[in-house]
Amino acid sequence: MSTVKVTQVRSTIGQSKAHEGTIRALGLGKIGRSAEHRRSPELEGQLRHVAHLVRVEGKDS
């Protein structure tokens, strides 16, 4: 199973409510906070939506 580590690197201040909600749905909310998720089409869409706010590191399990 392939997973990715997502880390928030920029603030959501000044971003749309949709971006803030996506960050929360990813389990983030503060700069430097990280979360691991399984790869899925839904996750890829979320990451594209907030790509300017997060860093993504791929892992293969």
Q: Which pLDDT score, from 0 to 100, does residue 60 have?
A: 64
Kindly report the average pLDDT of the chain as a whole number: 94
Q: What's the predicted TM-score (pTM) here? A: 0.90
CB 12 within 8 A of CB 54: no
The rounded distance, in Å, linking the Cα atoms of 27 and 5 is 11
Q: Which pLDDT score, from 0 to 100, does residue 15 have?
A: 96
Angle 58-52-14 (CA atoms, 0-180°, nearest 5)? 140
Angle 3-52-46 (CA atoms, 0-180°, nearest 5)? 45
Q: Which of 18, 21, 8, 16 is nearest to 54 (CA)?
A: 8
Q: Which pLDDT score, from 0 to 100, does residue 58 have?
A: 85
Domains and CATH numbers, the chain: 2-60 (3.30.1390.20)
